[in-house]
A and B are shown apart, each in its own frame.
Chain A
Amino acid sequence: MKPAPFDYVAPGSLEEVLATLATYGYDAKLLAGGQSLIPMMNFRLAQPSVLVDLNEVTELNWVRRRNGGVSLGAMVRQRQLERDPVVAEVAPLVHDTMPYVAHPQIRNRGTLGGSLAHADPAAELPVVMVALEAQLRLRRAQGERWVAAEAFFEGLFTTVLAPDEMVVEVVVPVLPPRTGYGFLEVARRHGDFAQAGVTAVLTLDENDVCRKARIVYLNLGEVPMIARKAADLLVGEKVTDSLIAEVADVGAREEIEPTGDIHATADYKRHLAGVLTRRVLKLALAKATSSQ
């Protein structure tokens, strides 16, 4: 229950971090909040030979308005996302979802970039960022690239990041007018990883016809699962209760790949997906109808 030995570096700048990653590649691990990495090191599931601490790289922590949306540094703490007034105003789905992420003590250290890079299918931030069509800026010593959140996650705890590459920025675009959203999950206790969850973002036109819909599932597949077929049923339609029921049915039947565990069978998770989809769509619809 103690980490294996490693060398520790705490660079003061992003340039130094990137240079260190370029030198050590696979042997190095970035340490952000440590709320997933240190448990893995305590269990010796992770045994990096060099640990590169990002906590003194203050230039990686910012919250800034950008084109009506918000730009976030990778080292923004989860607790900051929960409390920052700009995030609450322009990315309210992120704000509303944060209390579901672990406990306050964990959110005080845990970061945005760490949660995305860790790519746990039961984590809330990846799901919400996919639903909001966030863009991630990835950097390595030789340059940078932008990747859409939905293209970032490749599988269980696996992303497109190269060994010498890191997440530096996440941009959440502005929500169009008349957009509603919601996030719901079922966990055994408050703050535990959820058994299943779902988020929805709906945009209506002035006649209450749905213009755009995104539905993304949590812990119901190896990555955040986008229910495209279910969401397409909504587009061009008025969102009635019977349509919601149909959409939830298609989402839960066709667009997830739940696996059973000791607390919940795959069938039970499918059932949760259906119930939660109905509820979250009603929430999103109510928000969209009441917003200007």
Chain B
Amino acid sequence: MTKNVRISVTVNGEQYEREVEPRLLLSDFLRHELGLTGTHVGCEHGVCGACTILFDGQPVRSCLTLAVQANGHEIMTVEGLTEDRERLHPLQEAFWEAHGLQCGFCTPGFLMTLLPFLEENPQPTEAEIREAISGNLCRCTGYQHIVDAVKLAAEKLARQQV
């Protein structure tokens, strides 16, 4: 038997204390322990990007991070994008309006990748957008609509600034 580990993690601004098995992946911790099923799990080996979350503000693969490693750190998942379920984040609105999703399986990973990207790079070129999303796979929308959505999101966020 391996020893369980007590962890204290901040997720979307809320602090959680749990005892976890060391082998529990952060993706499974978020989904099964905390019920935050917005973080999706596709490949579990780092390729698809569906499980992307923010770890201390940086996008990372939650399927390649252990829950124990989140001890003392800050996590943000797609659920943290908006507090008011009736009002979406401008990035989410843009995906909706520009048809940046169909089934939506990949969408949380795209959103969590793009949030810090647009903060650092508020007026990205198309090439920069394509590079930024190169680590996220979408199996149904086609990337053109997603690129359009990112451009629209950049406009919306810029308008929000003024």
With both beta carbons as reference points, the residue of chain A lying nearest to B113 in the complex is identified as: A105
Q: Are B134 and A103 in contact (CB under 8 A)?
A: yes
From B57-65, B92-100, B151-159, the one touching the partner chain is B57-65
B66 within 8 A of A: yes
| CB–CB A2/B59 < 8 A | no
A7 & B2 in contact (Cβ 8 Å cutoff): yes
* Contact A103:B63 (CB < 8 A) given known A3-B23, A7-B22, A55-B69: no
Question: A57 at interface (Cβ–Cβ under 8 A)?
Answer: no
Closest chain-A Cβ to B125's Cβ sits at a distance in Å of 15
Residues of B within 8 A of A191 (CB): 134-135
Give the residue of A2, A10, A53, A106 whose beta carbon is less than 8 angstroms from that of B61.
Answer: A106
Contact string against A for B residues 17-30, beta-carbon threshold 8 Å, 1 for contact and 0 otherwise: 00001110100100
Task: Say if the beta carbon of B85 comes within 8 Å of chain A.
Answer: no
Q: Are A104's CB and B64's CB within 8 A?
A: no
**Are B58 and A2 in touch, CB under 8 angstroms?**
no
> A38–B65 contact, CB under 8 A?
yes
Closest to A38 in B: B64
| Residue of A2, A102, A104, A105 touching B25 (CB-CB under 8 A) | A2
- Besides A53-B68, A109-B55, 18 more A-B contacts (Cβ < 8 Å) are A1-B44, A5-B2, A5-B23, A8-B3, A8-B22, A34-B66, A42-B25, A51-B22, A55-B69, A99-B131, A102-B135, A104-B113, A104-B135, A105-B52, A106-B61, A106-B64, A108-B60, A109-B65
A residues near B (Cβ < 8 Å) are 1-8, 10, 31, 34-35, 38-39, 41-43, 51, 53, 55, 79, 99, 102-106, 108-109, 189-191
Across the A-B interface, the 3 shortest Cβ-Cβ residue pairs? A103-B135, A8-B22, A39-B45
B contact set with A: CB distance below 8 Å? 1-3, 5, 21-23, 25, 28, 44-46, 49, 52, 55, 58-61, 63-66, 68-69, 71, 113, 117, 130-132, 134-135
